[in-house]
């Protein structure tokens, strides 16, 4: 009987679930997994985009599923749906990729912004993992997260986004150790520059401490960070990440996207004061600092 079961497992079509699948990295990873023979559940809020994605493949290869990961009720409903559709209750890949960016000075963040950001970038992924973990365990599969260089270093005007990514990095580290007991791999993709639409295009609030000439220049420089860093295409990123999924390695952290490896080594080897000095120069914070000092001196003279 055991032999028959093992043989059946070998012929089972592998399955994957990708959140944030309507654009960017998620969209590209869905395509790459489907090209490798996976049946992929593509999840996002914009179901019409998912249907267009599914239409690029033979029927049943990519299955669109409307999902808001900030809604625990919808996640539980997804779990119930998968329980009736997955072969042998097995999910080989759970890719927690959905995300939201935020580019604002740390002291300009509102409770509403913070709550939404952590629900999308952290709590939603934790809820997905909790609800679907048994399906991945059944498959002895892989759980992945889209981490970020922002979770490792000091990118100005990105404190909230950085905090969410640092939280995911640490969550993945602990989960890696716990899931190893069940022969499940956990991969945290520490992501550098990738050509996607995630960048925050919002304006600096007029009430901001940084709303003056040099502050606005620095803020705009920060918003153009990815486009000026020769970002990797989402398709190339997906190709490399799916290779990580298909490999037998268990690395925890993989570094994907432009500058990912360089910055990770810089953070490991350089003292923090040097890292901060480099980033001050890159994002024109030194000019901003000088302007603030000039204003302070002018106020004293008055």
CATH of the domain at 144: 3.40.50.720
Whether residue 286 lies inside any domain: the answer is no
**280 assigned to some structural domain:** no
Sign of CA dihedral 24, 27, 30, 36: negative
User: 137 with 151: CB under 8 angstroms?
Assistant: no
In a domain, 284, yes or no: no
Tokens of 78: 């997804």
* Whole-number Å distance between alpha carbons of 106 and 272: 19
Q: How many residues does the structure list for the chain? A: 302
Is residue 79 one of the residues assigned to a domain? yes
Catalytic residue among 14, 22, 41, 255: 22
Position with higher pLDDT, 40 vs 300: 40
pLDDT reported for residue 1 = 33
For the ranges 101-110, 257-266, 291-300, the lowest mean pLDDT is seen at: 291-300
Q: What is the DSSP string of 169-205?
A: HHHHHHHHHHHHTTT-EEEEEEE-BEE-S-S--PPPP
pLDDT digits (tens, 9 = 90+) for 80-105: 999 999 989 999 999 999 999 998 99
Per-residue pLDDT, averaged over 69-78, amounts to 98
Domain of 67, in residue numbers: 2-203+231-269
Q: What does each C-alpha distance from 201 to 102, 197, 273, 280 come to in angstroms? A: 9, 10, 29, 22
Q: Which phi and psi angles does 19 have, rounded to 5°?
A: -95, 160
Q: What is the number of structural domains in the chain?
A: 1
User: In this structure, is residue 290 part of a structural domain?
Assistant: no
Note whether residue 240 is domain-resident. Answer: yes
> How high is the pLDDT of residue 5?
38
> Looking at the predicted structure, is the pLDDT value of residue 7 above 70?
no
First to last CA, the chain: 90
Predicted local distance difference test score (pLDDT) of residue 2: 35
Mean pLDDT of 32-52: 96
Given a cut of 50, whether residue 256 has pLDDT beyond it is: yes
| pLDDT, averaged across the chain | 91
22 belongs to the catalytic site: yes
Instruction: Identify the active-site residue in 95, 161, 171, 255.
Output: 161
* 161 labelled catalytic: yes
25 vs 230, more confident: 25
Q: Catalytic: which of 165, 255, 258, 284? A: 165
Model confidence band, residue 58 (pLDDT cutoffs 50, 70, 90): very high
């Amino acid at each position: 009987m055991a032999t028959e079961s093992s043989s059946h497992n070998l012929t089972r079509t592998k399955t994957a679930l990708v959140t944030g699948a309507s654009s960017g990295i998620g969209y590209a990873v869905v395509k790459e997994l489907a090209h490798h023979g996976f049946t992929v559940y593509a999840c996002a809020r914009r179901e019409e985009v998912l249907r267009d994605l599914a239409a690029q493949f033979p029927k049943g290869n990519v299955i669109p599923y409307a999902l808001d990961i900030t809604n625990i009720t919808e996640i539980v409903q997804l779990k119930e749906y998968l329980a009736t559709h997955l072969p042998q209750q097995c999910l080989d890949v759970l890719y927690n990729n959905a995300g939201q960016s935020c580019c604002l000075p740390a002291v300009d963040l509102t409770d509403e912004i913070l709550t939404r950001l952590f629900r999308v970038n952290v709590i939603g992924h934790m809820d997905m993992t909790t609800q679907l973990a048994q399906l991945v365990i059944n498959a002895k599969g892989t759980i992945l997260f889209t981490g970020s260089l922002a979770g490792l270093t000091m990118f100005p005007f990105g404190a909230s986004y950085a905090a969410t990514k640092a939280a995911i990095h640490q969550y993945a580290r602990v989960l890696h150790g716990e899931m190893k007991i069940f022969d499940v791999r956990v991969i945290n993709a520490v992501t550098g520059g990738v050509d996607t639409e995630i960048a925050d295009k919002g304006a600096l609030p007029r009430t901001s401490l940084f709303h003056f000439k040099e502050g606005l220049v620095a803020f705009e420089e920060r918003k153009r960070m990815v486009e000026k860093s020769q970002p990797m295409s989402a398709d190339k990123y997906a190709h490399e990440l799916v290779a990580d999924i298909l490999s037998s390695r268990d690395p925890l952290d993989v570094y994907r996207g432009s500058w990912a490896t360089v910055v990770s080594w810089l953070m490991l080897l350089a003292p923090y004061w040097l890292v901060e000095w480099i980033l001050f120069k890159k994002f024109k914070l030194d000019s901003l600092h000088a302007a603030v000092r000039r204003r302070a001196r002018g106020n004293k003279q008055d």
